[in-house]
Structure 1
């Protein structure tokens, strides 16, 4: 299937933003070695796409909340079918179907952004002075020429960390070392913000009980950032700028949405994130304090000025005075002579 419609849509949004910055006076001339009109066009391309995808992002949060609400039932199924993975998966799929929960909904925004990323990658990769068809996808020859020679701190936007000296010469790069430094910093920033975006979501929602969901969470948290260490060297600098901007936007958006839709309270009064800690970390922390004083446990009132509840006084032993009185006619016993130990040890 042809992806030209994606390339045309991406180019149209990018060029409309460039026209806007040009209209309000942001020149294509370099300031600090940077063509800010094209940098801002890429940044606001991200803003445009994230606004369009915002309803999908809200659905993602609601789907994750629904999955969290099902965690007690999922745990019961895991205990019931322990050792029978096939039956467990069938029961869990049936549970998701009945409760209308979609475990893959949490990854939907990322999947929807993949075609956008591929489209931008293709469009920026075409920015080459030797390209024989500069007017493809709605570009004019002048726009294509300006974009081809645009740069971030003298590093051309179409350049890559792994670009050869010949490629950099065609793009007009004055210093190949500067290009590698700028590209390297951007790739590391891309990795860090990708990790923080996934970590923020997992810390707020907690680790999933479902092994499949937990595997996806680990992949997003560790696998994707590490893969960018290699693949990032093949991305044009313009694409890396898009990715970093998208991650920063995601961090701010997730923070706002998670405050507006906080994690649900579980039956024990804890949030889903707290209850999802592995190996019973919460209970172990509480148990590490050791046994408490029973008097302290019986206190009432607030945190300060608590008073212990009144404890009943021990009952005094009842003494039978008649049993202790000497019997009539009995000789008095001299305690010094006839006293014997009450409990004589037997040999």
Structure 2
């Protein structure tokens, strides 16, 4: 696998670390109080920190996709359970309906898992590069080299002189490649052959233990932030409860237990990575909460626009024809309503007489034909209007035939 991991993972990661070390060593060389900037522990620690920051910036999009993938899974969980209950005896139908649901929601499990598969080799490669500066011993990543072989063996992009500058670097008196459980014989890799040791194990403990505690606490906080956004249905799952407890307590305690076997540079990486993850989670969850609020507001505005206006009776689809005819007769009704308010005694126009055929009932509010008494709305006769002067009143009683 080295023909794949070396060019794709180890060399790029070591190249980023090399780049930042050259930048900070150049800047440190400009400061008069910095002696031997190439082997300065603070400069190498800053190089490791900015290596982590660079990788996390590159992996920011996959991390955001991973969080959105988890949120989408939680949203779809109730409908997935409903499909499982409905088609519990038909696995083929369940698979078809599940794919339909995923397609309608724009959910792709392969793309959702891809960010995780990208991050894992990067973090393992970072761990391997930092561990490979000291290859003494038989533990993970070591090759059983002697102190002299370790100081004269390159580490991917770094040549032997640059490896020596890393081994000689001290972070508050402790070598960056040292760890608490390391044997005294392996301490020889951190000094020139034949030189006296300039540090003791307690120097490593004083620096490593605070880094272990900070790493464990930030791991717990990251788990708490992540679980606080978990849906109640997912949290109620028995398997999820076990995993939640592991994330909250087992993983942080594991860091405290296994931290004695981690080189100092790895602890610096862990602290930086956890602090970045904590800030990134707050940012992404806050951003997604604002997006959810904006989407909910847009849905409410759309519902308001589709709702009927105040005072307007909603028209059903089956009465569309009746609504269209009512709209066409509205102007005529308005004209009739205005024409009823006239001075009594006015004679109707000839156009009105021609518009209403003989024997037809005029529309409500329309002018009566000549010689026809006005009718009240609803078919009831209204009181006759006052007759003009000079006209002969008609007798209401019929004359008896003789």
Query: TM-score normalised by the shorter chain: which range applies?
Result: 0.5 to 0.7
- Find the counterpart in structure 1 of residue 259 from structure 2: 232
- Provide, for residues 96-142 of structure 1, a one-character-per-residue CA deviation record: whole Å limited to 9, x for no partner: 74445356877765553332332233222232353165234121232
SS of the aligned residue for 2:289 comes to: coil
1:188 matched to 2:213? The reply is yes
Deviation, 1:242, is 0.6
Deviation, 1:194, is 1.4
1:57 matched to 2:63? The reply is yes
Deviation, 1:67, is 1.9
- Provide, for residues 6-50 of structure 1, a one-character-per-residue CA deviation record: whole Å limited to 9, x for no partner: 22111100010011112223576489x962111110000011101
Structure 1 residues 132 and 167: CA distance shift in structure 2, 3 A: closer
180-189 or 203-212: which moved more? 203-212
Is the contact made by 2:220 and 2:249 (CA closer than 8 Å) also made in structure 1?
yes
Deviation, 1:68, is 2.9
Deviation, 1:203, is 0.9
Is the contact made by 2:151 and 2:163 (CA closer than 8 Å) also made in structure 1?
no
1:10 paired residue among 8, 13, 19: 13
- Find the counterpart in structure 2 of residue 125 from structure 1: 131
Structure 1 residues 109 and 208: CA distance shift in structure 2, 3 A: farther
- Find the counterpart in structure 2 of residue 147 from structure 1: 166
- Find the counterpart in structure 2 of residue 168 from structure 1: 187
Structure 1 residues 51 and 152: CA distance shift in structure 2, 3 A: same
SS of the aligned residue for 2:120 comes to: helix
- Find the counterpart in structure 2 of residue 302 from structure 1: none
Between the aligned partners of 1:138 and 1:234, the Cα distance in structure 2 is 25
Is the contact made by 1:160 and 1:236 (CA closer than 8 Å) also made in structure 2?
yes
Gaps of 5+ in 2: 135-146, 191-196, 294-402
TM-score normalised per structure 2: 0.56
- Find the counterpart in structure 2 of residue 209 from structure 1: 234
- Find the counterpart in structure 2 of residue 20 from structure 1: 23
- Find the counterpart in structure 2 of residue 45 from structure 1: 51
Between the aligned partners of 1:191 and 1:104, the Cα distance in structure 2 is 31
Is the contact made by 2:83 and 2:98 (CA closer than 8 Å) also made in structure 1?
no
- Find the counterpart in structure 2 of residue 69 from structure 1: 75
Between the aligned partners of 1:111 and 1:234, the Cα distance in structure 2 is 26
Is the contact made by 2:44 and 2:169 (CA closer than 8 Å) also made in structure 1?
yes
Query: Computing the radius of gyration over CA atoms, which structure comes out larger, 1 or 2?
Result: 2
Gaps of 5+ in 1: 266-347
Between the aligned partners of 1:117 and 1:29, the Cα distance in structure 2 is 32
Structure 1 residues 95 and 71: CA distance shift in structure 2, 3 A: farther
Between the aligned partners of 1:207 and 1:102, the Cα distance in structure 2 is 23
190-199 or 103-112: which moved more? 103-112
Is the contact made by 2:152 and 2:161 (CA closer than 8 Å) also made in structure 1?
no
SS of the aligned residue for 2:56 comes to: helix
Is the contact made by 1:34 and 1:154 (CA closer than 8 Å) also made in structure 2?
no
- Provide, for residues 235-272 of structure 1, a one-character-per-residue CA deviation record: whole Å limited to 9, x for no partner: 1110111111011011111111111111857xxxxxxx
Is the contact made by 1:151 and 1:157 (CA closer than 8 Å) also made in structure 2?
yes
Is the contact made by 1:7 and 1:123 (CA closer than 8 Å) also made in structure 2?
yes
Between the aligned partners of 2:72 and 2:185, the Cα distance in structure 1 is 54
Between the aligned partners of 1:21 and 1:219, the Cα distance in structure 2 is 39
Deviation, 1:234, is 1.8
